[in-house]
Amino acid sequence: MAHTCRGTINLSTAHIDTEDSCNIVLSNGGRTYHLKANSEVERQRWVTALELAKAKAIRMRNNQSGTACFGVRTCNRTLLKTSS
């Protein structure tokens, strides 16, 4: 099955939520990405990694005079759907 990239999301302003034991929701403005992990442990690892990347993106943005775009590419096979 072919996988395609659906775009990027600016983590410094993104909301990272969990729906249940395996699902993650990343949202930022008009874009929402639904991701599904294989297990609760894998979901927690993704959430931790995303939260760390978000904190780094915020630090980068605050340390620069311009706006830093530090996003995550969403071409992982766990992408379920994108809604605008």
Give CATH for domain 11-62: 2.30.29.30
pTM of the model: 0.69
The residues, any chain, with a CB within 8 Å of residue 81's CB and separated by 6 or more, are 34
Give the pLDDT confidence of 3-42 residue by residue, as tens digits.
Answer: 777 778 889 999 999 999 999 999 998 889 999 999 999 9
**Nearest residue to 13 via CA among 24, 32, 27, 2:** 27
> Looking at residue 1, what is its pLDDT?
56
> Looking at residue 58, what is its pLDDT?
93
Task: Say which residue the tokens 């071409």 belong to.
Answer: 75
Q: How is residue 32 written in tokens?
A: 């929402």
pLDDT for residue 51 is more than 90: yes
Which sequence spans correspond to the domains of the chain?
A: 11-62
pLDDT for residue 79 is more than 50: no
Mean pLDDT of the chain: 80
Q: What amino acid occupies position 51?
A: E
